[in-house]
Structure 1
Amino acid sequence: MAGCGNNGNNANGGNTSSPSSSSAEPAATPSAAASPGKLVVTSFGGAYEETQKQFIKEFEQEYNAKVEVVTLYSADALAKIRAEKGNQSIDVVQFSGGQEAVAAKEDLIMKLDSTKLTNLNSLYNSALDSNGYAPAYAFDALGIIYNEEEIKTPPTSWKDLWNPDYKGSVGLIDISNSFGLQFILAAAKMNGGDESNIQPGLDEIKKLIPSAAAIVKSTPEVGNLFAQGEVTIAAYDAGYAFTFRKQGQPIKFVSPVEGAIGTFISAQVVNGSQNADLAAKFVDFLLRADIQKRFAEANGYAPTNKSVELSADLQAVMPYGEEAVNKMVRLNSDLVNTNKATWTEQWNKLISK
């Protein structure tokens, strides 16, 4: 699902393959991963990983453990545990693009004993995995971001992007950016389509193009358009609304009444881990309210633990609370990946007219 530029804050920020070099420690050998009290876990690099490393130090102290972090984005992490099936070097793998569904089908990750997840009952229903795999520990979402100084009445629906009052100031995102693709799907679902039929979304966006200030591909371009006042509203990511607001821009995030498009970030225990019990404790650690609160404050990802209380300023830039969280739409990642090339051709024809 990733497809846009990554500022280091966002796990779903556009990289499907990992950096060629990393400050993370090198991957452990299988024998090292199997050592008592030792875990090898993946993370996404950048500020995301640096924040997790701070929490990991606490986990190490609490459980007298040693945790080694390997930088792997979701697609690469899936490829690695697939290649190492039967001889795994990784104990806990993190996914942000729906890869856990593929990993489960291929028997690459383990179902967890719910009685050992002490925080499970504190989670929103939408965070739970109905098949018994690890739940999501963080949410990201595509919704509406807007300049609160320019738009006094907050938008409430995807349909508000077509409001004539915003003509000339709408930011439209290219399909090569994952958030642009998600918006097309949101428009499709709003008009009777879905992941098998995106045409209603393309038809609706055709009507929106005259209102667009620009069609852009990258997050820096989106940020610049808001900063320069050329764009006042766009369908974009909550994580970047957090980033823009930290930069001093008067940006707010809204979960549309139809439901924001959700990104469900999870940490899964790899099938074949020799430290599965400790790995499950690590998963449970990420579900704790205190850990999720600090993660939201540092990186802008919404908590999946419903007991987490956040400041009004943070609530303004993420899906927060029972209603917004449980209405989030989970896309069929298999269909998205299967159809993306065809959709890209359709999109390119649309915007070239």
Structure 2
Amino acid sequence: MQHARLIATLRRIGILAIAVSGVAYLAYVFFHEPGDDQGGDRLVISVYGVSQDSFRKNLYAPFEAECGCTLVVETGNSAERLSKLAARKNNPEVDLAVFSDFDALAALRRGLLDPIDVSRLSNYNKLYEFARDPIGGHMAVGYTVYATGIVYRTDKVAISSWRDLWSPSLKDRLVLPTLTSSGGPLLLQMLERAAGGSDPTFAGALAQVAANKRSVVTFFERSANLVQLFQQGEAWAAVTGRYNLPLLLRLNMPIAWASPSEGDAGGRNVLVLIKGSRRRALALRFLDKWLSTEVQTAMALDLVDSPANREATLPPNVASLLTYGPEMIERMNFIAPAVVLDHRAAWTKAWNETIAR
């Protein structure tokens, strides 16, 4: 009799345990996002290699202190990092990555990204409009913006339009970005705009560069080359990102940022979540931290990134060196990321055939 009672009691306990387990499982399904509780206390991010000391000070270390976790930082150029993500598509190591907006779209088209639940971002509504959904579907969020424009020697030449790049006074004194650099497509965009065109093939702009290529000292790839050319007096004007302005101003030459009537070109770098990440909740927390007013201001004060957060407030001496403030933001012209991806191969072919040879 006692044996039978013991068996019945154990059965009741077993049924209760199963019921409790079932409730716990249903609670997990309904109240946890996939990836929330997997992967432990480690977050892997893929970023550009520049200014990592500043990122460590202003972002990585404070976040690790807050979350009690460890950040694993992988660095490299966009092509290398995209290839690595594609190779690990079915078993991703990286949780969050940063790219230009068009490289982020390339990653999306290769099935490498997950959507971002912006309702979980406390800093999302602080962003400028251009940063909120730059590639569509909430698959990326912009964290910095940069203008590409014209820097010039004010004692040698006057510039009020992108058409002035072809002025006779700049013959053999003009430096332009090569097409494969981030500034190449932006140069073509503004030349097309200055000529009154809107053809995404940039046929007119490519023809302008080809017709005037003998006036160009060089088509540069690296910022160090640009600074050296100004320092040696070989360059009087150049098309470059505003992030190079502080380097050029250190030369103590009469160098200024032009205000052409057509405005400047605009570029964005964005944050993305990698599809299949096992630490999605932690990645979202880190992404939100990056967009915070505190971090955005700190990175701007270090002259690393111009803020995409509208609430970041900078002193005039810093603001003048960055892409900052409503007036400068309104002057920028962005290329749709899809235009870059859909036409880049044709631009490259035309460039190689008419300019690079």
TM norm. shorter chain > 0.5: yes
Is 1:271–2:282 an aligned residue pair? no
Q: Whose Rg is larger?
A: 2
Tell me which residue corresponds to 2:232.
228
Aligned to 1:140: 146
Which of 214, 217, 235 aligns to 2:217? It is 214
SS at match of 1:266: strand
Aligned partner of 1:51 in structure 2 is 54
- Among the aligned pairs, what percent are the same residue? 26
Note the 1:73-92 alignment, pairs <5 A.
73-92=77-96
Give yes or no for contact 2:45–2:94 (8 Å, CA) kept in 1: yes
The equivalent residue for 2:10 is none
Q: Deviations over 1:78-106 (max 9, x none)?
A: 22222222322111111125222133344
Mapped to 1, the partners of 2:300 and 2:270 lie a distance apart of: 15
Q: Write out aligned runs for 1:104-183 (5 A).
A: 104-129=108-133, 130-148=136-154, 150=156, 155-183=159-187
Q: 1:305 to 1:178 in 2, by over 3 A?
A: closer
Within 5 A, what are the aligned runs for 1:19-98? Answer: 34-45=38-49, 47-54=50-57, 55-96=59-100, 98=102
* SS of residue matched to 1:159: helix
| Segment of structure 1 superposing worse, 245-254 or 272-281 | 245-254
TM-score, structure 1 normalization: 0.78
Q: 232, 243, 246: which one pairs with 1:242?
A: 246
Q: Does structure 2 conserve the Cα–Cα contact (< 8 Å) formed by 1:185 and 1:201?
A: yes
Instruction: Please say which of residues 169-178 and 297-306 is displaced more in the overlay.
Output: 169-178
Measured after TM superposition, the shift of residue 326 of structure 1 is 4.2
| Structure-1 residue corresponding to 2:191 | 187
- Say what the alpha-carbon RMSD is for the aligned residues: 3.0
| TM-score, structure 2 as length reference | 0.77
Deviations 1:218-251 (A, max 9, x none): 4333222211233222211212223323455554
- Unpaired runs of 5+ residues, structure 2, are 1-34
Measured after TM superposition, the shift of residue 276 of structure 1 is 0.9
CA contact (8 A) 1:254 1:319 kept: no
- CA shift, 1:304, in A, is 0.6
Secondary structure in 1 aligned to 2:176?
A: strand
Give the distance between the partners of 2:249 and 2:326, measured in 1 at CA. Answer: 23
Q: Match for residue 31 of structure 2?
A: none
Change (3 A) 1:327 1:272: farther
Query: In 2 relative to 1, CA 352–140 (structure 1 residues): closer, same or farther, beyond 3 Å?
Result: closer
Is the 1:111–1:132 contact (alpha carbons within 8 Å) kept by the matching residues of 2?
yes
SS at match of 1:242: helix
User: What whole-Å deviation, never above 9, does each CA across 1:188-228 have from its counterpart, x for those lacking one?
Assistant: 23335456422210233355446x35133343332222112
Q: Residue 64 of structure 2 aligns to a residue in which SS? A: helix
Q: Which amino acid aligns with 1:49?
A: Q
Structure 1 position 310 matched with structure 2 position 314: yes
Q: What is the total number of aligned residue pairs between the two structures?
A: 318
Distance 1:118 1:176 in 2: 36
Whichever residue aligns with residue 248 of structure 2, its letter is: F
Q: Secondary structure at the match of 2:119?
A: helix
CA distance in structure 2 between the aligned counterparts of 1:235 and 1:92, rounded to whole angstroms: 32
Bigger helix fraction: 2
- Residue 49 of structure 1 and its aligned partner are, at CA, apart by 2.4
Consecutive unaligned residues in structure 1, runs of 5 or more = 1-30
Evaluate the alpha carbon distance shift between residue 101 and residue 40 of structure 1 in structure 2; reply closer, same or farther with a 3 A threshold: same
Q: Give the residue type in structure 2 aligned to 1:302.
A: S
Q: Does the aligned pair in 2 maintain the 1:254–1:317 contact within 8 Å? A: no
CA 1:81–1:174 in structure 2 vs 1: closer, same or farther (change >3 Å)?
A: closer
